[in-house]
Amino acid sequence: MAVVVEEVRAAPEPLPVADPAPLGLAAFALTTFILSGHNATFIPDLIWVGLALFYGGLIQLLAGMWEFRNRNVFGSTAFSTYGGFWLALGIFVTFAVLSKNFAAAIGANKADLPNALAWFLLAFAIFNFYMLLWSTRVNAAVFGVFLTLQITEVLLVIGFFMEAHGHANNGWVHAGGWAGIVTAAVAWYTSAAGVVNGMSPRPVLPVGRPFWGELPVAARQKSPMPRRAES
């Protein structure tokens, strides 16, 4: 009787992909800089909307999707969420400017617009807070991005809530703009480190070590974002 031997082939190794973290950080940094420059009163308004839709929004969302491919939970969550943040904010402002019905609805009460922006930012500040806590397991540079972003969001939330309660030009939004510029600078540095370190046999720009819970040796790479070890 013939014996049939089935050949079991191992699943093919997934092809390596370029690290999307530097792109995601660059998209976040540039869009944050332009909007923050407006909040700090030295950049005109609305120039940031196109960036929010395409660079900070779409490109950062794509970076988040590629982080899923890299099995990076932290990076995929951060980039996808803030890609959605910029898309949502850009669409909101686009509707407010181009749609008379939308503008009338959101502007029926003078306090509605700043109140809506305050709640919008507060919701993302809650998300950012726990990402700030877990960024301590990544490195000092990524922690710096989330720390400065947390400060920015809190300042803007206070400013918009005060504006909604009749305290226009209270200075908090202006302060949030300058904090956002610092956030953009830290994110640009972290992006630049990811680019040059990924092109070099050893790190060129330091990003610091995790504050606790350091990743396994096999998962430590030159990326500014953490990588999970291959199983």
> What's the token pair of residue 58?
């779409």
pTM given for the model: 0.87
Q: What is the pLDDT of residues 172-220, one digit of tens each?
A: 999 999 999 999 999 999 999 999 999 988 989 999 999 988 655 544 5
Closest CA to 222 of 186, 140, 146, 206: 206
Q: What is the pLDDT of residues 32-89, one digit of tens each?
A: 999 999 999 999 999 999 999 999 999 999 999 999 999 999 999 999 999 999 999 9
> What's the pLDDT at 107?
87
CA separation for the pair 127, 134 (Å, rounded): 11
In one-letter notation, the amino acid at residue 11 is A
Domain range list for the chain: 21-219
Closest CA to 178 of 197, 206, 151: 151
